[in-house]
């Protein structure tokens, strides 16, 4: 590849028809997140078309780290797709997910199990396949209903604590 190739490619993108530029924008998946324990915020395009953006996934892995220990793990990208699809299903495309819990190290999970019977011994939080969320300005019951309708993974509804557990494991549901 040479300089002419790159200049030509750049010109092709700049002069692409408006419909092509709109289509590229429509195929960009973004999420807005607010971590309730660290007060960090992140607005990120994590996928364009069928391609996950490696640097965005790395930032999301860090953002969803175990805030108690600082440990990180690779979060299942399908979990981000599930979040995206839930907010789109709700017509809340500019909504911000409030993160109650992302990744949990085995140490943190064991500590939480000692204080709550609602924490699973083999929680999918420990493998980066689960997240507990709220959606700002929308009831958690709505998130639960949208996730159940999508029929992907586990959906747990915790009405007293006002959050929904979503995961990319087997399809199942619990809570009121």
Banded pLDDT at 113 (limits 50, 70, 90): confident
**Does residue 10 belong to any structural domain of this protein?**
no
**Does residue 76 belong to any structural domain of this protein?**
yes
Looking at residues 81-110, what average pLDDT do you find? 94
**Does residue 11 belong to any structural domain of this protein?**
no
Boundaries of domain holding 70:
28-174
In which residue are the tokens 């607010």 written? 34
- CATH number of the domain where residue 131 is located: 3.30.1380.10
Write the DSSP string, 88-147: HHTT-TT-EEEEEE----HHHHHHHHHH-TTS-TT-GGGGT-EEEEEETTB-HHHHHHHH
d(CA 32, CA 6): 33
Banded pLDDT at 24 (limits 50, 70, 90): low
Report the DSSP beta bridge partners of residue 44.
31
Per-residue pLDDT tens for 25-83?
A: 569 999 999 999 999 999 999 999 999 999 999 999 999 999 999 999 999 999 999 99
**Does residue 160 belong to any structural domain of this protein?**
yes
- Token pair for 130: 């689960």
Q: Would you give the DSSP letter of residue 2?
A: -
Percent share of the chain, pLDDT over 70? 84
d(CA 22, CA 12): 15
d(CA 70, CA 67): 5
| Domains contained in the chain, number | 1
Percent share of the chain, pLDDT over 90? 71
**Does residue 20 belong to any structural domain of this protein?**
no
Question: Contact, 129 vs 168, CB < 8 A?
Answer: yes
């Amino acid at each position: 590849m040479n300089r002419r190739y790159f200049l030509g490619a750049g010109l092709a993108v700049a002069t692409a028809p408006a419909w092509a530029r709109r289509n590229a924008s429509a195929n960009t998946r973004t999420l807005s997140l607010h971590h309730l324990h660290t007060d960090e915020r992140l607005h990120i395009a994590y996928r364009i078309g069928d391609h996950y953006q490696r640097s965005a996934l790395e930032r999301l892995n860090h953002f969803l780290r175990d805030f108690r220990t600082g440990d990180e793990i690779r979060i299942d990208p399908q979990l981000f797709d599930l979040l995206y699809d839930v907010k789109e299903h709700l017509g809340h495309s500019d909504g911000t997910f409030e993160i109650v819990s992302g990744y949990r190290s085995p140490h943190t999970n064991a500590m939480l199990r000692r204080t709550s019977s609602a924490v699973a011994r083999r929680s999918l939080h420990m493998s980066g396949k689960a997240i507990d969320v709220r959606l700002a300005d929308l009831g958690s019951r709505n998130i639960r209903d949208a996730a159940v309708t999508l029929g992907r993974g586990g959906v747990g509804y915790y009405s007293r604590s006002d959050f929904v557990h979503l995961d990319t494991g087997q399809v199942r549901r619990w809570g009121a």
